[in-house]
Amino acid sequence: MSIKSICCIGAGYVGGPTMAVIAKKCPQIKVTVVDINEKRIAAWNDPDVDNIPVYEPGLGEIVADARDKNLFFSTDVDRAIDEAEMIFISVNTPTKTYGEGKGQAADLKWIELCARQIAKVAKGDKIVVEKSTLPVRTASTLKDILTHTGNGLNFQILSNPEFLAEGTAVEDLLDPDRVLIGGEQSPEGEKAIQALVDIYAQWVSRDKILTTNVWSSELSKLTANAYLAQRVSSINALSELCEHTEADINEVARAIGADSRIGPKFLKASVGFGGSCFQKDILNLVYISRSYGLNEVADYWEQVIIMNDHQKRRFAKKIIRTLYNTVSGKKITFLGWAFKKDTNDTRESAAIYVADHLLNEQSSLSVYDPKVTEEQVFTDLDYLDTRSPEENRKALKVIKDPYKACENSHAVAILTEWDEFKDYDWQRIYDSMLKPAHIFDGRNLLDKEALRKIGFQVHAIGTAD
């Protein structure tokens, strides 16, 4: 089965980049990305690719090369569904904020709405691909809705979870560690799996394309993120111990990372992990485990989240404690708001929660991030509903010049590991700050000794002050 037309519902951080790369590598396939958000689709269609809504190194060039050739962005969802042979679902699946499973279970209302719209519009058989991160057994929910409301058509459901790291998403898509495809173990299911395998095989080595049953595929996505987050929380737990001893977490990480059984990746101590997936997927895993009565399993994975939240809180408390136990009326500059470098994604960013803590202590904040907009910073803070929007805008200023942002600050806090921060004229920044001038390096990014020679008081994760 040779696929000629693909539709992706959802033009966000997964759908946009994934479809752009598929379009680039498979010029014979028409790829249409649809979303009901008119503003987002307009941004994807902006002639200036610097204005597309997702920032990823290299993405703009790929979009510019394929757009209006075989890559299209549209709000006409029904037409795209009707024309497509294969439909990717890549909509948001946030953690529920209401009802049963509040705070842990995934909210699948957008997934269900997609299924119902596909069933309503489709006039022929379709392959439906789960691309959003979903709980185990969601495929059966999709199959049930489509089978019973789809006018007797044949729908095959595939699980094709994304394993992208934001900031390197294009690189990960072009040269993935693996592509995972799960489907029904039947002749029809095998045929659908092969259709998706053939698409990826246009540029991915066949030995990197793994096929499983649909349940294994769904659980593998949650498990991969849980394991990575576990490593971050583990090294962060040890970083606190290092701060109370003569140990240096960077030296500890290098020593244990040299063990081939452990390896060096995800051993960078920091203010904590963020992003759309880690916390959501672990909470989902916790909820699933508890629903089966596996409380010890749930408790184990929940501790990863508890440790991450603790790391953010103690970073904020360290700033307060160092500044003589009060930050009221004191200006603190945040360098970085995105949850990691090379992305404009701020979901679950540590900066949001550290800022919230300091604002509750009546601090004055100045924020600079090279890719995050002022609108997004305030959207993040307003969503917490801790203070009124007016209070947030009075206490926090977003400044697009890092040097101006640091002027007359009592302290600078590094919240995102943007490479450009390492190249700043730190002597100039020091001269513009109130003394003693403090740096709180939440990403272990800067040269501590060089900063101390300038005169800074340096406080880094995992080393004693």
Query: So which residues are the catalytic ones?
Result: 162, 221, 277
Distance of CA 350 to the CA centre of its chain: 12
How far is the C-alpha of 310 from the C-alpha of 241, rounded, in Å?
13
How far is the C-alpha of 346 from the C-alpha of 105, rounded, in Å?
21
Residue 213's DSSP bridge partners are: 183
DSSP string, 326-344: --TT-EEEEE--SSSTT--
Distance in Å from the first CA to the final CA of the chain: 63
**Sheet-wide strand order for 209-213:** 71-74, 30-34, 5-9, 86-89, 126-130, 155-159, 179-183, 209-213
273 and 280 Cβ atoms separated by less than 8 Å = no
**Tokens linked to 455:** 């005169």
- How many CB atoms neighbour CB 202 within 10 A? 13
Axis-axis angle for helices 295-322, 278-291 (nearest 10): 140
Closest to 370 (Cα-Cα) out of 350, 342, 394: 342
31 and 6 Cβ atoms separated by less than 8 Å = yes
How far is the C-alpha of 214 from the C-alpha of 457, rounded, in Å?
53
166 and 127 Cβ atoms separated by less than 8 Å = no
